[in-house]
Amino acid sequence: MKLYFTKMQGIGNDYIYVDCITKDQHVKDPSALSVRLSDRHFGVGSDGIIFIEPSASADCKMDMYNADGSRGMMCGNGIRCVGKYAYDHGIVKKDVLTVETLSGIKALRLAVKDGKVSTVEVNMGKPILEPEKIPAKFPGSRAVNVPLSVGGRQLHVTCVSMGNPHCVLFTENTDDIPLWQIGPKFEKHQAFPQNVNTEFVKVINRSEIKMRVWERGSGETLACGTGACAAAVACILNGKTERSVLAHLKGGDLNIRWDETSGDVFMTGPAEYSFDGSVEI
């Protein structure tokens, strides 16, 4: 069987997108396929696969798998590309659309230029702060600036869920952190029963941060939309920034705003095509 796909990226967070709406494409083992095609030496190369599917409750549905084959609940950079694909390919021809995910239905507002989507604002919903719902094994109603022993070091972290679990810690220098060593220790830490994404954040000023991300199931990625949202929320909870933050990630920038009235977090950033292709599966 030949599988047709489109490679897309949001500030370097790249996925293989499979159109299951306009094309009759069904994969028996998407987890194994994601492991095979995500390999950057022997496959297509990506942070995972996202299937764009019909939805009974939204304009379309995204079903995502990480590079290690694990199923993802939500991806902020990935969902922006879903919105661009759906609009540019005529699946949904409106500038506000909804996408079903495993962490709920998300609303997207599209900025269209010359008939194509350039940037997308996503209502990422309300952050989940209760440790048992993240899930994270900390006492109390919130895990804000709480101690955590990792690799023999006592650190302080803030935990947030944006539909997937995040652990945020602040540092003076993000460049020199050996993420390949410390990232897995966070990801598999016993405090996080479903593993965790980890953000290492430097606060530049009250409206600007710099960060690196270790994603569960994918390792260090150039960007993580939910991670940027979690980092901004953590900054606000710790009194380090205002409610609107420009986040600098390795792959580019995202604008994050935590609305005080609704309690929703809004993320704005680009979505771009890389190439189309096909592969025998």
Q: Are residues 10 and 92 in the same domain?
A: yes
Q: Are residues 250 and 135 in the same domain?
A: yes
The pLDDT value recorded for residue 176 is: 93
The total domain count for the chain is: 2
Q: Are residues 11 and 113 in the same domain?
A: yes
Looking at residue 116, which CATH number applies to its domain?
Answer: 3.10.310.10
The pLDDT value recorded for residue 271 is: 97
The pLDDT value recorded for residue 32 is: 97
Q: Which listed residue (159, 167, 224, 229) is catalytic?
A: 224
Q: Are residues 138 and 237 in the same domain?
A: yes
The pLDDT value recorded for residue 97 is: 97
Q: Are residues 151 and 254 in the same domain?
A: yes
What are 158-210's pLDDT values in tens digits? 999 999 999 999 999 999 999 999 999 999 999 999 999 999 999 999 999 99
The pLDDT value recorded for residue 215 is: 95
Q: Are residues 148 and 203 in the same domain?
A: yes
CA distance 108 to 84: 10
Q: Are residues 17 and 94 in the same domain?
A: yes
Q: Are residues 179 and 257 in the same domain?
A: yes
The pLDDT value recorded for residue 170 is: 98
Asked if the structure places residue 229 within a domain, the reply is yes
The pLDDT value recorded for residue 239 is: 98
Per the prediction, the chain carries an average pLDDT of 97
Pairing of β 244-249 and β 208-215: parallel
CA distance 202 to 194: 26
Residues 6+ apart with CB under 8 A from 21: 52, 53, 54, 60, 91
Asked if the structure places residue 38 within a domain, the reply is yes
Q: Are residues 115 and 236 in the same domain?
A: no
Q: Is 224 a catalytic residue?
A: yes
Residues of the domain holding 247: 131-263
The pLDDT value recorded for residue 194 is: 96
Looking at the whole model, is its pTM more than 0.85?
Answer: yes
Q: Are residues 210 and 171 in the same domain?
A: yes
Chain centre distance of CA 247: 14
Q: What is the dihedral of CA 102, 104, 107, 110, to 10 degrees?
A: -10
Q: Is 75 a catalytic residue?
A: yes
154 CB-contact burial (10 Å; exposed 0-12 / middle 13-18 / buried 19+): exposed
Asked if the structure places residue 27 within a domain, the reply is yes
Q: Which listed residue (60, 75, 229, 235) is catalytic?
A: 75
Within a 10 A sphere around the Cβ of 222, how many other Cβ atoms?
Answer: 18
Q: Are residues 217 and 274 in the same domain?
A: no
What are 108-132's pLDDT values in tens digits? 999 999 999 999 999 999 999 999 9
Asked if the structure places residue 126 within a domain, the reply is no
Q: Are residues 57 and 161 in the same domain?
A: no
Q: Name residues of the chain where pLDDT drops below 70.
A: none
* Whether the Cβ atoms of residue 159 and residue 167 lie closer than 8 Å to each other: yes
Asked if the structure places residue 136 within a domain, the reply is yes
